[in-house]
Amino acid sequence: MLNDFTFKAIEGENNIGTLGDYVLLKELGRGGFSLVYLVQHKQTSDRVALKVMLPRVAANQRAVNWFLREIKNTESLIHPNVVRLKESGYAEGTFFFTMEYCDGGSIINLMERRGVRTLPVDEAVAIILQVLDGLIYTHNAEIPNVKLADGSFVTGRGLIHRDLKLENIFLSDFGGKLIAKIGDYGLSKAFDWAGLSVKL
């Protein structure tokens, strides 16, 4: 768990701070269990998104297990329409992982910037088709170390997101074209663990 002093330095608006090899530039979002920051690697200057558990949550072993499962699930996914995990680690008493930074924010952010409640049909369809490509991939991806009901582990196939919403669909700009990427696999389950099929 981050100590109080470190966490205040990280959370404060005027004093973002550092975590391990990363300089925290700004907060991108927060949920009930975690915070996400835009960070820059001290040596490479690469900018990525960094997700860290809230200190009050990190004291709960079950929550830590959920966070570690999100890392394990996300690192298995390599697709243009899925947010890519870069690195995971443990620093200053807390687990964290970094992901590719989607400079367009989420679909919700896009609509807020435009002051609209819906997107034009052609743009929405293009995004939906990309999200479907990402979902088809994740529903068929090989997932290592899936724990079955009997306690055994297998290599499974397929991951269910279980929390797909506008806030979890992110956008990156590649040469003027918006690329949609599914993020936040914290609540996901392997098909096998969810009691569905096992495909070995």
* Region of poorest pLDDT, from 10-14, 47-51, 73-77, 156-160: 10-14
Joined together, the tokens standing for residue 48 give 């990525």
Minimal CA–CA distance to 70: which of 109, 47, 36? 36
Burial 35-56 (b: 16+ CB within 10 A, else e): bbbbbbbeeeeebbbbbbbbbe
Is residue 3's pLDDT more than 90? Answer: no
Identify the bridge partners of residue 5 per DSSP, sorted by sequence position: none
Is residue 5's pLDDT more than 70? Answer: no
| The CATH classification of domain 4-100, taken from the options 3.30.200.20, 3.30.420.40, 3.40.50.720, 3.90.400.10 | 3.30.200.20
Q: What is the pLDDT of residue 95?
A: 84
When pLDDT is averaged across residues 111-123 and rounded to a whole number, the result is 95
195 or 35, which is more confident?
Answer: 35
20 or 32, which is more confident?
Answer: 20
What are the residue ranges of CATH 3.30.200.20 in the chain? 4-100
Is residue 162's pLDDT more than 70? Answer: no
